[in-house]
Amino acid sequence: MPLRTTGDATARYALLLEQVPTSLRLMSACIDRLRSLGDGPVNVLLPKTVRVPEGVTHGWIEGPLGVTGCLLASVGEKTPWRLKIRSASFANAQALTTALVGTRVDDLADAVMSFFFVVGDVDR
Integer angstrom CA distances of residue 29 from 18, 19, 36 = 19, 16, 11
33-61 pLDDT per residue, tens: 988 988 877 777 877 777 778 999 999 98
pLDDT at residue 2 in the model = 65
Task: Enumerate the β-bridge partners of residue 57.
Answer: 72
Give the DSSP H/E element, type plus range, for residue 12.
helix 9-18
- Residue 110 banded pLDDT, cuts 50, 70, 90: confident
CA dihedral (108, 114, 120, 123) positive or negative:
negative
d(CA 15, CA 34) in angstroms, rounded, equals 29
- Residue 121 banded pLDDT, cuts 50, 70, 90: confident
Residue 1 pLDDT exceeds 60: no
53-99 pLDDT per residue, tens: 899 999 998 887 888 898 999 998 888 889 888 888 888 888 888 88
Task: Enumerate the β-bridge partners of residue 55.
Answer: 74
**89 neighbors 61 (Cβ within 8 angstroms):** no
pLDDT at residue 124 in the model = 64
| Overall pTM > 0.75 | no
d(CA 75, CA 18) in angstroms, rounded, equals 48
Q: Largest alpha-carbon pair distance within the chain?
A: 56
**80 neighbors 73 (Cβ within 8 angstroms):** yes
